Amino acid sequence: MALLANRPLAIIPAPEAPMNRPEPRAPASLNNAQMRAVHHLDGPCLVLAGAGSGKTRVIVHKIARLLQHGLGPKQIAALTFTNKAAQEMRERAKALVGPRAAKDLAVSTFHSLGVRMLRADGTRVGLKPNFSILDSDDVLALIRDAGGCSDNALARRWQWAISLWKNQGLDADAAEATATGDDQRVAARVMRRVQERLQAYQAVDFDDLIQLPLLLLQRDAEARARWQAQFQHILVDEVQDTNAVQYALLKALTGERGLFTAVGDDDQSIYGWRGATIDNLKQLPLDYPALSVIALEQNYRSTGHILRAANAVIAGNPKLFEKKLWSDLGDGDPVRLIECDSEEHEAERAVARIQSLRAGQTDGGSTSGSTLRFADFAVLYRANHQARVFEQKLRAAQIPYKVSGGQSFFDRAEIKDLCAWLRLIVNNDDDPAFLRAVTTPKRGIGHQTLAALGEFAAPRKTSLFDALFAPSLAAALKGKAVDALHEFGRDVHTLQERATHTTGTEDAKALLLDWLSDIRYEQHLHDGEDSQKLAEARWRNVLDFIDWMARRCGGDEDTGGAAQRQSVLQVAQTISVIISLADRGDEQDVVTLSTLHAAKGLEWPHVMLASVNEGLLPFRSGDDDMTAERLQEERRLMYVGITRARYTLCVSTLKRRKKGRDTVIGVPSRFIGEMKLDEAKLQEDPRARLKKLRDAMAAKVAAAPGLR
DNA sequence: GCCGCCCGACTTTTT
DNA sequence: GTCGGGCGGC
């Protein structure tokens, strides 16, 4: 959809095999292991799905099997981590079981499920049904405020610590008890205050969306019984990425019966740093003695050389479950190793490789008739900033590209402005939203007025919005300020009123446009931006956003399964959990630049792993020492990178690399050696060959007496 | 007190 | 190459 035109999209390569390789992509029938996973219905099941082994296929077929077995679509939940994954799963399910059944399946992210549970039962854990969901920027502001701190870096560290605690299922008390050192103790105290404010605002953060439903199930037997009865079978995707709270929620939802299918790959666990714990996978067989473990080892993606390199690297990690990928796609091209002088050189080599492969030059030097698309290529690297030099060189070569993992559409200031208004009409008590909305656009209400309003509201224990209408407010503030506040209050009420009753795409759009013109939002953008062009770009984003909202009100088929007409208010309620989805329609033929993390789950015919150097991959920052766990996660990252490739993989290292302002000697990553590449089969870079010649020459000269 | 300049750093990311 | 923080000067 146009909405996301300026957002980097994940690309799914075209289904047709780009090189002339006769190879059936998805076999018509399930293989043996897949079949066992699909037909195991009466007990807990762990599917260890190696990279490219058809895991989504298994999930979708299992859903079909469960339906066939007599379960209703509403009784099946399939949980993912990202909206994108949920969307893909929903579509694949739709293709297999038909739109009618697919519509009622509970295919969603963990967080959306949490929202659903809390909207229904939130009152049982102290939440009004109209609670707000704060995004991480709101939470950061809240933390700064609660901690009385203007230092953003410190607030961020607090936010990080608090989130990790929440992901471990700890509350403020528990956090304070486990805190070591002064920093942590302070963070725990901040956490307590943040939790109090969240409660007062009737707001939750993303972590709460998992933790509170868990609390609900633990505390409330009736709710537990009801939700356990609701879902007769739960499928979990990427189970290796679950954190302690998500795992506990899964257990609480499935209860004693343990009717679930967990799908994941311990070798692709790369999110330990944000609280995911592989302990969950270790714990699974202990918590469920009846667990059937089924390994999917046949890889349908990569050719032999690539797969052997991947297996060789991951063999360096201790095994949780024995598993070794194999493929019947033939050896394919050898993995290619390139040494580059610098980042610039590396990017130039990458460009040259794309051009030569596209021109029909294969690694062996023979030519093939077909032309490759730009979208068949990806350059993968460890850290975002590494994209820059590739962007430069690709632009210079006029090759279209996109960068994954950029700023989300919903993170843009203009979109968040509007979301603040929407949140406020959903939940009048949402003070952070109030503060943003009341000052955007400027309406003569400054921090003086707001501070006074805050002081008025605090002792009365009302939200800022409620305080607007207190009869005694006029006594506490200047007349002009009160008028401005009342006008704002009326604006919000008007919007709220209309949003409750407006449904359907066209009406919704008209309402939203009316609103924007009422608050003069376009003018506000031009005022706040010195560049005309930038302001216009922002306004276009706003219009895209409006379009997108309106279409959801109409219940468009293609907007993620919301098939009924919804009021603007209803759409506004779900907005903070719907982070953008890529639209398949505007998939473009462009080269992908992506971090290794963002590349997980995707694949390309031709992949380049860039700057595979010590210090970058595995990553090491100045002072910290590399623990065994850290190194193992880095190794899994390398494994993920290698297994993204279908036909060719090109790994490059830097001889010199930039580190901050200066340049340091580049040491090839230990993972290069671990790939156990057959050196004899390695293609030599023309420049390296030249250099060898030169070195040999120099050696001869040096050895010859009398010539010095 | 505010503004502007300079210097340093610069993982990974979802909801 | 860019962003943010800190310091110095006005």
d(CA A679, CA A700): 25
Q: Which CATH superfamily is domain A10-122+209-300 in?
A: P-loop containing nucleotide triphosphate hydrolases (3.40.50.300)
CA distances from A110 to A210, A216, A234, A241, A259 (A): 7, 15, 11, 11, 17
Which of the nucleotides lies closest to A270 (Cα–C1')? B12
Annotated catalytic residue: which of A237, A266, A544, A633?
A237
pLDDT in the model for residue A2: 34
Judge: domain A336-407+586-692, CATH 3.40.50.300: yes
User: Residue A469: helix, strand or coil by DSSP?
Assistant: coil
Confidence band (pLDDT; 50, 70, 90) for A608?
Answer: very high
pLDDT in the model for residue A622: 64
pLDDT in tens, A46-91: 999 999 999 999 999 999 999 999 999 999 999 999 888 888 899 9
Averaged pLDDT for residues A603-631: 85
Give a three-class secondary structure readout of A212-234: HHHHHHHHCHHHHHHHHHHCCEE
CB-proximal positions of chain B, under 7 Å: 8-15
Exposed, middle or buried by CB within 10 Å (0-12, 13-18, 19+), for A499? buried
pLDDT in the model for residue A447: 66
Q: Which of A110, A117, A162, A173 is nearest to A136 (CA)?
A: A162
| Token code pair at residue A646 | 């279908």
A56 labelled catalytic: yes
What percentage of chain A has pLDDT greater than the value 70?
A: 85
CB neighbourhood size of A297 (10 A):
16
**DSSP string of A67-100, one letter each residue:** HHTT--GGGEEEEESSHHHHHHHHHHHHHHH-HH
d(CA A593, CA A615): 20
Give the DSSP H/E element, type plus range, for residue A295: strand A292-296
pLDDT in the model for residue A245: 94
Torsion of CA A436, A441, A443, A449, to 10 degrees: 20
Averaged pLDDT for residues A670-691: 70
Q: Which of A116, A78, A82 is nearest to A94 (CA)?
A: A78
Give the DSSP H/E element, type plus range, for residue A339: strand A336-340
Confidence band (pLDDT; 50, 70, 90) for A686?
Answer: low
Q: Residue A30 in contact with residue A96, Cβ under 8 Å?
A: no
Q: Assess whether pLDDT exceeds 60 at residue A675.
A: yes
CA A245-A248-A253 angle, 5° bins: 125
The 8-class DSSP code of residue A601 comes to: T
Question: Domain A409-581 is of which CATH architecture?
Answer: Orthogonal Bundle (1.10)
Q: Is the CB of A331 under 7 A from strand C?
A: no
- The residue written with tokens 């439903």 in the block is A213
Using the C1' atom of nucleotide B15, identify the protein residue whose alpha carbon is closest. A206
Q: Hey, which residues does A628 pair with through a beta bridge?
A: none
Domain boundaries of chain A, sorted by first residue: 10-122+209-300, 132-201, 336-407+586-692, 409-581
Annotated catalytic residue: which of A7, A34, A55, A436?
A55
Task: Say how far A254 CA is from B14 C1', in Å.
Answer: 24
Q: Which of A572, A577, A525, A534 is nearest to A552 (CA)?
A: A572
Confidence band (pLDDT; 50, 70, 90) for A656?
Answer: confident
Q: Assess whether pLDDT exceeds 80 at residue A696.
A: no
Confidence band (pLDDT; 50, 70, 90) for A299?
Answer: very high
User: Residue A624: helix, strand or coil by DSSP?
Assistant: coil
Q: Assess whether pLDDT exceeds 50 at residue A583.
A: no
d(CA A499, CA A502): 5
Across A344-360, b (16+ Cβ under 10 Å) vs e yields: ebbbbbbbebbeebbee
pLDDT in the model for residue A441: 77
Q: Which CATH class is domain A132-201?
A: mainly alpha
What does pTM read for this prediction? 0.79
- The residue written with tokens 């972590």 in the block is A207
Averaged pLDDT for residues A470-499: 85
Q: Do A10-122+209-300 and A132-201 fold alike per CATH?
A: no
Per DSSP bridges, beta strands A233-236 and A203-204 are unpaired
CB-proximal positions of chain C, under 7 Å: 1, 4-6
User: Residue A441: helix, strand or coil by DSSP?
Assistant: coil
What percentage of chain A has pLDDT greater than the value 90?
A: 32
Averaged pLDDT for residues A358-372: 63
A34 labelled catalytic: no
